[in-house]
Chains A and B, each alone.
Chain A
């Protein structure tokens, strides 16, 4: 593992019993300082993978290293902040006492507690019992707990669960802020819009396997051009014969063309010179959701 790689897994597999494979030969790399989005549908194996990275779940096979060490070792845990699924705390303790318990287990001074609570805007409610917190407050306390150790690596599993739109936006801002500089964030979610706004790179997981990994622009496979022209059938015929043009799909009264955005002007000229009236031609940026649906659809077809 190079110094630049913070998390590395090779053929990581978790089988619960014969026939049930939660994670299936998963290989991924998370680089230092990046916000890595881990995207996949519910039940794809995201949480099991994160639990293996934290040493909570033992892999059946494969290799896995976190910050250059075996997952779950004290020297690694001391440098990681985490939220896994719904934040779990002791219901009879107040927010501050919950953090005191975790601070003791992490050998972190109590002086870190108030800044962490302040960071997530929970200082005023720190004396309230955890059982009386709303889901959003629980999530924020989870984030405060994750920040207690001032960690090098944050592993966050669905951190915006239960938050209202304002809370989600706030949490996204916080994660973006935390991901600046040297700190690495591994963020798991099935909310594509959330990841799209925060992440530098994304790994798409389906049925326990990484089916695509890269920067969002790479995953978009370049971009698509939307071409609205008359007559549409002739335009499609002409575009199909052009070099550098990939898949062409008809979308009601327009064509979606897989092509390099730089070739847009050439495409326009060719169509016009062939007597085709072009009313619209522009680059469509695919959303992560489109990419994900495309990938999982392709995957389904291959399977």
Chain B
């Protein structure tokens, strides 16, 4: 418990954590409500290109399906950075030395860090839904529409799946930070992997069978597949849309769970076995 509190202090008092949270909330509301509502209200360019936004997607009863698509895309990348910072900075600052010479074992420190990260992801989920709820209610009031909420069961499943998707990305960030023993390379590679590599390979996956097979292990493919199982529309155009092939919700859940376990296990093994040098 003491180690967990130490790790929570580190994450809570770090400005970067709050900046990432703020940026994630801003992106989600901007692309989930502000821009679509602006387009709906009659942006000329948007209409000239044949764009159409259904008001119904912005109303409270579609809160879950409207918000979910950002999680495997912006959300994943943002928490990947959080995961990298949570442990990669320890290498950059040389703080693994004091952390590993107090009393707690290396694995205890590492798993406390993972647990603290998992707890920190909770507001990344809850606040998005809270702000999304406020935005959808404001739109409903403005447009004189009914304020109907999604079912509690759908809401609970959405919260769980959203956290689960973020957890997969954050632990991936932890792994690449441990592998690269730092932050800069890990963040660079993580962003390229998440935003470019997975996206490009998923594009070609419909044409090349080998890539189709590989893409079924991707974080985004499985994240979007989970969302799809909740009824969220993930295909199409624009931010948060996905063009690769999907898998079943059960398969996606199992693959992501396995990946989380593998990411943590590999990182933990390296943390336990490797020598701890000074700051890099």
Smallest Cβ-Cβ distance to B2: which chain A residue:
A104
A268 within 8 A of B: no
A133 within 8 A of B: no
| CB pair B15 A104 closer than 8 Å | no
Known contacts A58-B275, A88-B278; is-contact A105 B15 (Cβ 8 Å)? no
B3 within 8 A of A: yes
| CB pair A106 B103 closer than 8 Å | yes
Known contacts A92-B15, A105-B104, A107-B103; is-contact A51 B94 (Cβ 8 Å)? no
| CB pair A102 B93 closer than 8 Å | no
The residues of A that contact B14 with a CB separation of less than 8 Å are: 92
Binary interface encoding of chain A residues 201-214 relative to chain B, with 1 for a CB under 8 A from any of its CBs, else 0:
00000000000000
List the count of A-B residue pairs having beta carbons below 8 Å apart: 92
Question: How distant is the Cα of A213 from the Cα of B24 in the complex, in angstroms?
Answer: 60
Contact of A90 among B95, B97, B103, B278 (CB under 8 A): B95
| CB pair B101 A80 closer than 8 Å | yes
B225-280 interface with A by 8 A CB criterion: 273, 275-279
Contact of A104 among B3, B97, B273, B276 (CB under 8 A): B3
The residues of B that contact A86 with a CB separation of less than 8 Å are: 94, 278-279
The residues of B that contact A149 with a CB separation of less than 8 Å are: 102-103
The residues of A that contact B93 with a CB separation of less than 8 Å are: 88-91
Question: How distant is the Cα of A57 from the Cα of B5 in the complex, in angstroms?
Answer: 27
| CB pair A92 B13 closer than 8 Å | yes
A140 within 8 A of B: no
The residues of B that contact A215 with a CB separation of less than 8 Å are: none
Smallest Cβ-Cβ distance to A92: which chain B residue:
B14
The residues of A that contact B188 with a CB separation of less than 8 Å are: none
Give the shortest distance, in Å, between B241 (CB) and chain A (any CB): 37
The residues of B that contact A89 with a CB separation of less than 8 Å are: 93, 95, 98
Question: How distant is the Cα of A58 from the Cα of B102 in the complex, in angstroms?
Answer: 17
| CB pair A105 B99 closer than 8 Å | yes
A16-34 interface with B by 8 A CB criterion: none
| CB pair A105 B102 closer than 8 Å | yes
The residues of B that contact A80 with a CB separation of less than 8 Å are: 101
Question: How distant is the Cα of A55 from the Cα of B99 in the complex, in angstroms?
Answer: 12
Instruction: List residues of B whose CB falls within 8 A of some A CB.
Output: 2-3, 5-6, 9-10, 13-15, 93-95, 97-105, 109, 273, 275-279
- Nearest 3 CB-CB pairs, A to B? A88-B94, A104-B6, A105-B102
Instruction: List residues of A whose CB falls within 8 A of some B CB.
Output: 47, 51, 54-58, 72, 74, 77-78, 80, 82, 84-93, 97, 100-102, 104-107, 145, 149
Listed A/B pairs (20) with beta-carbon separation below 8 Å = A51-B276, A56-B100, A57-B275, A57-B277, A74-B103, A74-B104, A82-B101, A84-B278, A85-B97, A88-B278, A88-B279, A90-B10, A91-B93, A92-B13, A92-B15, A102-B99, A104-B3, A105-B6, A105-B109, A149-B102
